[in-house]
Structure 1
Amino acid sequence: MVKEEWRGLGDIQFTDKLKALTTPLGRWHKANFGGMDNKITKFEEEIKRIDDMVSNSGYDETLEARRKVLVSCCERWYVRKEVHWKQISRSRHAKEMDKNTRYFHNIASARRRNNRIDILVINGRQVKNQARIKIAIREFYKDLYHQEASPMMGFRDGLVGKIDEGDALSLEELPSAEEIREAIWDCESSKAPGCDGYNMNFIKRC
């Protein structure tokens, strides 16, 4: 279904295709996974009915075979339901977190606290004044990046050397299809890179 719908969308941007694909995927999901609770209930009722028949009339090979098939089907739907609610809970959690700006403010505040330098030793003395600490750090890096070139270090233009033209061009090259594939396959399958609901398992499979 995904292949057919994808081809039918023609030559439009990849992200637009993903957006357009959500509608047929929604229909497919409803047709194949809709009414899960009703299906599970029917299987359970049928299994109970067979159990009652066997308890009243004794062992029946045909009924036992039928029961095994029903139990197998029921178990598959249990797994589908579990996966379904797992995905739904993740989706809801992501949406609620998007709305919860206080959560993100707290994260940012914690990061600021962790990155804050309260005390710095300058010339053997402990300094707590924030203005002096900022000046000392700025002067340190200003001096560091203006050091004279050293033959021992092998740099040409001061402390920070220049890469050659070949290396510069290689940094600007587009990644190959194999490199992209390798990066995607390194990702955990249940994670979604964006809020569109497509997880890495879908991208790997389809």
Structure 2
Amino acid sequence: MARQFKALVESSFPPGGMARGKSPFRFENMWMKTDGFVDRVDSWWNRHSFSGTPSFLFAKKLKEDIIQWNRQEFGNVGRRKKELLGALEVLDAKEGVLGLTETERVERNEARSQVEQLLSLEEISWSQKSRMLCIKEGDNNTKFFHMMANSHRRSNHLSFLEVDGVIYEDGAKVAAQVVQYYKTLYQESEEWRPFVKGLEFDQIGESERGWLERRFEKDEILSVVRDMEGDKAPGPDGFSISFFHHC
């Protein structure tokens, strides 16, 4: 009988529970709304030289540059929005008491414009995290996207595991049980296996076999990528399909 491996999902860690590891890289589609971002990607791609597999080249060439650019130039959208809203509150209060100079009016208009842009970026980000493809951004759905994204996070959260009736809460023991489970998942435990010798199966011709085993053409790959939804969950490298659509 297969070993019982039951995951119990909770919304918060118990005291002394599992520690979070390093957050993986996740490409934000909102970055592409920044002026000149595609040109930046092209510049980053061409200025480095690495050796290795294509996936290694792709990851090493772009991830660190994007992370550094996000940290040093793009910044935290939520923090920037909070600062601008604070500045607007001060200017609005001053207008009601002393009035605003022409320079301050210009500053307020610029701040309002920046807040609107940040709200749009914020909605794109939460839309991507929610992976709700039936609802498009631009209709003030940020709260709904936020709720769905948090729901995904809670669903992906493991507080403890029950294996063969034993509950594991310690992070290291939970991790060890997960590793052990997948180590033995595809191991064969039966000594006897059925045989197909002597059975007749329909066969395909040489032309069909050659077509199935042919190398994928570049245009065929590009066509498939273009047909994919841009807000689907990212691949193992953290890049969304929208990145490949635009960059």
Q: TM-score range by the shorter chain?
A: 0.5 to 0.7
Tell me, yes or no, if the aligned pair for 2:230 and 2:241 is still in contact at 8 Å. Answer: yes
Quick one: which of 160, 170, 181 aligns to 2:202? 160
Q: How does 1:20-99 map to 2 (within 5 A)?
A: 20=60, 21-57=62-98, 63-84=104-125, 87=129, 89=149, 93=153, 96=156
SS at the partner of 1:189?
coil
CA distance in 2, matches of 1:77, 1:183: 32
Q: Residues 194 and 24 (structure 1 numbering): CA distance in 2 closer, same or farther, change over 3 Å? A: same
Q: What is the CA distance between 1:19 and its match in structure 2?
A: 2.7
Structure 1 residue 192 corresponds to structure 2 residue 239: no
CA distance in 2, matches of 1:67, 1:25: 31
Range 4-13 or range 39-48, more displaced: 4-13
Q: What is the CA distance between 1:162 and its match in structure 2?
A: 3.5
Deviation string for 1:2-26 (max 9, x for gaps)? Answer: 2233231345322102331322221
CA distance in 2, matches of 1:99, 1:26: 30
Quick one: which of 51, 55, 58 aligns to 1:18? 58
Tell me, yes or no, if the aligned pair for 2:225 and 2:241 is still in contact at 8 Å. Answer: yes
Q: Residues 99 and 178 (structure 1 numbering): CA distance in 2 closer, same or farther, change over 3 Å? A: farther
Structure 2's unaligned 5+ residue stretches are: 1-39, 131-148, 163-193
Q: What is the CA distance between 1:182 and its match in structure 2?
A: 0.9
Query: Which residue does the alignment assign to 2:138?
Result: none
Q: Residues 171 and 19 (structure 1 numbering): CA distance in 2 closer, same or farther, change over 3 Å? A: same
CA distance in 2, matches of 1:196, 1:101: 28
Tell me, yes or no, if the aligned pair for 2:225 and 2:245 is still in contact at 8 Å. Answer: yes
Deviation string for 1:152-179 (max 9, x for gaps)? Answer: xxxxxxx83542x333322222121111
Q: How does 1:75-154 map to 2 (within 5 A)?
A: 75-84=116-125, 87=129, 89=149, 93=153, 96=156
Tell me, yes or no, if the aligned pair for 1:40 and 1:77 is still in contact at 8 Å. Answer: yes
Query: Which residue does the alignment assign to 2:43?
Result: 4
Tell me, yes or no, if the aligned pair for 1:44 and 1:74 is still in contact at 8 Å. Answer: yes
Query: Which residue does the alignment assign to 2:212?
Result: 171
Q: Residues 84 and 9 (structure 1 numbering): CA distance in 2 closer, same or farther, change over 3 Å? A: farther
Tell me, yes or no, if the aligned pair for 2:77 and 2:118 is still in contact at 8 Å. Answer: yes
The number of equivalent residue pairs is 155
More helix by share: 1
Q: What is the CA distance between 1:180 and its match in structure 2?
A: 0.3
Tell me, yes or no, if the aligned pair for 1:6 and 1:17 is still in contact at 8 Å. Answer: no
TM-score, normalised to structure 1, is: 0.56
Please report the RMSD computed on the Cα atoms of aligned residues, expressed in angstroms. 4.1
Query: Which residue does the alignment assign to 1:117?
Result: none
The share of aligned pairs that are identical, in percent, is 20
Q: Residues 35 and 180 (structure 1 numbering): CA distance in 2 closer, same or farther, change over 3 Å? A: closer
Q: Residues 181 and 189 (structure 1 numbering): CA distance in 2 closer, same or farther, change over 3 Å? A: same
Tell me, yes or no, if the aligned pair for 1:190 and 1:201 is still in contact at 8 Å. Answer: yes
SS at the partner of 1:203?
helix
Structure 1's unaligned 5+ residue stretches are: 103-137, 139-144, 147-158
Q: Residues 53 and 204 (structure 1 numbering): CA distance in 2 closer, same or farther, change over 3 Å? A: same
TM-score, normalised to structure 2, is: 0.48
Q: What is the CA distance between 1:201 and its match in structure 2?
A: 0.9
